[in-house]
Structure 1
Amino acid sequence: MIEIEVKGYADDGVFERVRERFKLIRTEYHEDTYFRHPCRDFAETDEALRIRIRRFNGHFEAFLTYKGPKIDRNSKTRKEIEVPISDPDKHLEILESLGFEEVLTIEKTREKYYVDKGIIIGLDEVNGLGKFIEIEALAEGEEVVEETVRILREILESLGVKKFERRSYLELMLQKEVNHGEAG
């Protein structure tokens, strides 16, 4: 499956316009732990491996997710393989036993909104980074990526988004640490 995703910087005005126009699905708390591969540099290959713990409405879900390299110049579109896991601690132990190392954990609150069939908006408040808006759709093949990205960007622009961002929250956080001398 290909995740077609467009992300932009948001402010209170963008958040309010989404809340007025679209139906809230739910509010979630995400804890995303990213891993370094023992034999290749994901920063160079533009890949990611993470365990996401998602909490909402008193429920708990966890997923192991692989994200392939971005396949579009104007968005964060990439192949994504995600599987549910029942015991994140045991999966972490397996990854560490195989030589994977934790890079960073990103924490955020996400409000999810229904836009249209197959299109979801996420209003993200990311600890240490601020407010963002993501809009995504799933596709079977790459032939629809360009047109879908255009549609998703238009929706965000209609909500007042002026600045878009292709980098992941992990990339933004790592860059922030380098800029502020916090990287270790």
Structure 2
Amino acid sequence: MIEVEVKGYADESVFERVRENFKLIRKEYHEDTYFRHPCRDFAETDEALRIRIRRFNGHFEAFLTYKGPKIDRNSKTRKEIEVPISDPDKHTEILRNLGFEEVLTIEKTREKYYVDKGIIIDLDEVNGLGKFIEIEALADREEIVEETVKILHEILESLGVERFERRSYLELMLEREVEHGKAG
């Protein structure tokens, strides 16, 4: 599957428009730990490997996710492979034993809203980065990506989003650390 995703910077007024116009699915807390490949530079190949721990309504879920390179110039669209895991600590241990290193853990709260069949909006408050809005849909083939991106972009603009962002939270956080002299 291809995850078609458009992200923009948000403020409280954008968050309120979403809350007024769409149905809340649930509020979640995410802890995303990203890993560095021992032989390949994911920054150069535009890939990512992470373990996500997601908590909501007293539940706990964890996933191992591979994200392939972006396939669209105007969005964060990419192939995504995600599998549920039952023990994130043991999976982290396996990755470490294979030579993977933890890069960074990003924490955020996320409100998920239903827009239309197959379209979801996420309101994210990312620790250290601020407020963002993401809208996503799944595509089963690349031929429909461009039109889907256009539709998603228009929805965000109608909600007052003026500034869009293709970089991942990981990329933004790493750039922030370099700017503040924290990256090593």
Q: TM-score, normalised by structure 2?
A: 1.00
Alignment match, 1:178: 178
**Counterpart-to-counterpart distance in 2, 1:144 and 1:28:** 30
SS in 2 for 1:95: helix
- How many residues are paired up? 184
| TM-superposed deviation, 1:11 | 0.1
Query: 2:30: which partner in 1?
Result: 30
Identity of aligned residues (%): 89
Residue of structure 2 equivalent to 1:144: 144
| Aligned partner letter, 1:2 | I
Q: Cα offset for 1:15?
A: 0.1
Aligned AA (1:24): L
For structure 2, the residue ranges without an aligned partner over 5 or more in a row are none
> Where in structure 1 are there 5+ consecutive unaligned residues?
none
Aligned to 1:154: 154
1:80 maps to which residue? Answer: 80
Deviations 1:11-57 (A, max 9, x none): 00000000000000000000000000000000000000000000000
Q: Secondary structure at the match of 2:160?
A: coil
1:1-184 alignment, distance < 5 Å? 1-184=1-184
Determine helix, strand or coil for the equivalent of 1:183.
coil
Following superposition, the deviation at residue 154 of structure 1 comes to 0.2
- In structure 2, how many angstroms separate the alpha carbons of the residues matched to 1:29 and 1:174? 21
Structure 2 residue matching 1:173: 3-state secondary structure = helix
Q: Distance in 2 between matches of 1:165 and 1:125?
A: 15
Distance in 1 between residues matched to 2:138 and 2:86, nearest whole Å: 24
Distance 2:141 2:32 in 1: 27
CA distance in 1, matches of 2:69, 2:91: 23
CA shift for structure 1 position 134: 0.1
Deviation at 1:151, TM superposition (A): 0.2
Question: Which residue identity is paired with 2:117?
Answer: K
Alignment partner of 1:62: what SS?
strand
What secondary structure does 1:182 align onto?
A: coil
Aligned mates of 2:180, 2:141 — CA distance in 1: 40
Taking only aligned residues, the RMSD between alpha carbons, in angstroms, comes to 0.3
Give the 3-state SS of the residue equivalent to 1:38 in structure 2. Answer: coil
